[in-house]
Amino acid sequence: MEHRTRPSRRPGLTLGRIFGVPLRVDASMLLLTVVVTVLYAALARRQLDLGHLGGYLVGLGFVVSLLGSVLLHELGHALTARRYGIGVRGITLELLGGYTEMDRDAPSPKVDLLVSLAGPAVSAVLGAGAVAATLALPAGTLAHQFAFQLAVSNVVVAVFNSLPGLPLDGGRALRAAVWAVTRDRHRGTEVAGWIGRAVAVATLALVVLLTLRRALAPLALPLMLLVAVTLWRGAGQSIRMARIGRRLPLVDLARLARPLLPVPTGTPLAEVAALAGYADQAHLTREVKEFAGVPPTRILPAGA
């Protein structure tokens, strides 16, 4: 679970709006639904002595409850962001949980911190409520098993998302802290990005350890590997964006700008070149070709 600041991709199916926020479901959510339903159905059949159909129905019900928990987690981000004037483009539920898409970055470290921690805080409250329900319900019942699994899933989501590495919520909180101390948002992003890579490596190591001990279900193995890869890629993207953001202020826009020279349609290039102060038409043509299609990275100062 994370929140992103980027142009909206409008993926998946739009289900509607909740508190005015567009809610979408990515196609990858179908895979998550199948995997979790199958895993939980097997567990329910063993512990509750259910038939195949009953196990799958219970598994599907757990998926719905789990997605509800993810949605509330993302709403924590979205509503907190709106409270501080940040527009929310939508919430998307996908294979690895979900993300909240915002139209701009937080204006200050304080807002960045509050928006980042809102999601894990919601998951922690849901987990605490599910733990209380687990303790209150009689053991061996469907309600007890259901509450126990919701408690585990929400506590895991709260703890894992609080780890201090991007693109996790805890990484954004760390970025806010470094930003507040150094007055440099990009440095905070880069620090949290490198720690995010460490979290990705640790996740991969955990996958290997659980696999060697045969403590990981076959269907859970590819999901955990996907989590580790996604964390690594997200952390790397954060590091790259921080470096680009640090370089952009060094670009001298005044040096790159050219005066606007309106000319009537059909004016010969030789005459345009003379009006613009070029020695001849060839110089004008050469400069136009030189800057046409040049990517921003080519314009940045060398060594910036």
Catalytic residues: 74
Question: Which ranges in 28-88 belong to alpha helices (H)?
Answer: 29-48, 52-83
Per-residue tokens: 110: 């304080």
CA–CA dist 98, 110 (Å, integer): 23
Phi, psi for 22 (deg, rounded to 5): -60, 135
Instruction: List 14's β-bridge partners, or say none.
Output: 24
- Structure tokens belonging to residue 215: 């403590």
Q: Report, in this order, helix, strand and coil percent for the chain, each rounded to 5.
A: 65, 10, 25
Q: Which helix (H) or strand (E) is 100 found in, with range?
A: strand 97-102
Residues 6+ apart with CB under 8 A from 257: none
What does DSSP assign to residue 97? E
Would you state the structure tokens that stand for residue 118, as one six-digit string?
């809102």
Nearest alpha carbon to residue 234 among 277, 188, 196: 196
| Best CA proximity match to 242, nearest among 162, 163, 167 | 167
Task: Please check whether residue 50 is in contact with residue 58, taking contact to mean a CB–CB distance below 8 angstroms.
Answer: yes
